[in-house]
Amino acid sequence: ALPYDLAGLRVLISAGGTREPLDPVRFLGNHSSGKQGYALGRAAAQRGAEVTIVAGTVSAAGDPAGVDIVGVGSAEQMATEMTKRAADADVVIMAAAVADFRPVSMADAKIKKGDQGPAPIELTTNPDILRGLVEARTEGRIAASTVIVGFAAETGDETGGVLDHGRAKFKRKGCDLLVVNAVGNGKAFGTEDNTGWLLSSGGEETALPPGSKTLMASRILDEIRTLVPDETEN
Ligand code: PMT
């Protein structure tokens, strides 16, 4: 049986991908299915938490019972909903794949093929939602006791492996826990299984052997449970 150890905790999760509109019919997006974020929401609700998921694009992620779902499109919309709701959360988990960039403007009408070949798409930087949440906590706009969890989707390259990139991102983001996933080559995005590491601000690094996203969710929640301060314990 699942432990009922998250009773009374308010857990806010982002899941899925964002869509950055180019024109009324096109967008820039990614392959996130929302399965990992939904698995976390489902497991947290089964363990007694009050769960809200801010969902971008999701596919075949199921319908988690007893979870509040707030649908969003773009990264900016996700930022608005997450920032607003984080003030009422004990735990915030950024499992969504948020676009780092968006088109500078959305065309009012469908972009035509034109005679000159493809027109360049000018991009601008999206808000970093996770960094913004950590900053809000530092500045007292959300409670100091709120546990903030990030994900990192990494591929190895000539400058380092998945874990090296994850460690560097953990330092930059300043969250309490970072789930590092190996992605690329058909891994993590849209799949049923996931694998990686859990990095905690105490310096511990725990390998997460390959397993279902449900199993991954329960390991992540076990770790989160240890980070929730005593006064919110039930
Ligand atoms: O949805 P699935 O198909 O189940 O796949 C799950 C997953 C691979 C998408 C998920 O496990 C995952 O790794 N999510 C984070 C993907 C990602 O965008 O990683 P990142 O390294 O680009 O971002 C690092 C962290 O910052 C993430 O917590 C992300 O939500 C957050 N971020 C990123 C950019 C941005 N502008 N704002 C953010 O808050």
The protein residue whose alpha carbon is closest to atom 33 in ligand 1 is 98
Residue 101's beta-bridge partner residues? 125
* Residue 231: predicted pLDDT: 64
Express each pLDDT in 212-223 by its tens digit. Answer: 999 999 999 999
**91 inside domain:** yes
- How far away, in angstroms, is 80 Cα from ligand 1 center? 17
Phi, psi angle pair for 157, to nearest 5°: -155, -170
Q: Could you tell me the two tokens for 18?
A: 């964002």
Name which of 45, 51, 46 is nearest 1 in CA terms.
46
**209 inside domain:** yes
* Residue 76: predicted pLDDT: 98
* Residue 158: predicted pLDDT: 86
Quote the CA–CA distance of 153 and 32 in Å, as a whole number. Answer: 11
Residue 226's beta-bridge partner residues? none
Q: Is the ipTM of this complex over 0.90?
A: yes
| CATH number assigned to the domain comprising residue 224 | 3.40.50.10300
User: Are residues 166 and 197 in contact, defined by beta-carbon separation less than 8 angstroms?
Assistant: yes
* Residue 116: predicted pLDDT: 80
Instruction: Please spell the DSSP secondary structure of 184-216, one letter per residue.
Output: BTTBSTT-SEEEEEEEETTS-EEEEEEEEHHHH
Q: What's the structural domain count of the chain?
A: 1
**155 inside domain:** yes
Express each pLDDT in 51-81 by its tens digit. Answer: 999 999 999 989 899 999 999 999 999 999 9
Is residue 32 in contact with ligand 1, taking CB distance under 6 Å?
yes
Express each pLDDT in 124-146 by its tens digit. Answer: 999 999 999 999 999 999 999 99
Q: Which of 30, 126, 181, 194 is catalytic?
A: 30
Task: Tell me which residues of the chain have a pLDDT lower than 70.
Answer: 231-234
Quote the CA–CA distance of 121 and 124 in Å, as a whole number. Answer: 10
Q: Could you tell me the two tokens for 1?
A: 């049986």
**43 inside domain:** yes
Name which of 181, 101, 175, 110 is nearest 137 in CA terms.
175
User: Are residues 22 and 99 in contact, defined by beta-carbon separation less than 8 angstroms?
Assistant: no
**190 inside domain:** yes
The protein residue whose alpha carbon is closest to atom 7 in ligand 1 is 189
Quote the CA–CA distance of 216 and 114 in Å, as a whole number. Answer: 48
Q: How many CB atoms lie within 10 A of CB 88?
A: 13
Quote the CA–CA distance of 189 and 201 in Å, as a whole number. Answer: 26
Segment (H or E) for 149: strand 147-154
* Pairing relationship of beta strands 101-103 and 123-125 according to DSSP bridges: antiparallel
* Residue 97: predicted pLDDT: 98
**110 inside domain:** no
**Domain residue limits at 15:** 10-99+121-228
Q: Could you tell me the two tokens for 74?
A: 């773009």
Asked about 194 being catalytic, the answer comes back as no
**105 inside domain:** no
**176 inside domain:** yes
Is residue 93 in contact with ligand 1, taking CB distance under 6 Å?
no
The protein residue whose alpha carbon is closest to atom 21 in ligand 1 is 152
Q: Could you tell me the two tokens for 95?
A: 């499992």
- How far away, in angstroms, is 214 Cα from ligand 1 center? 17
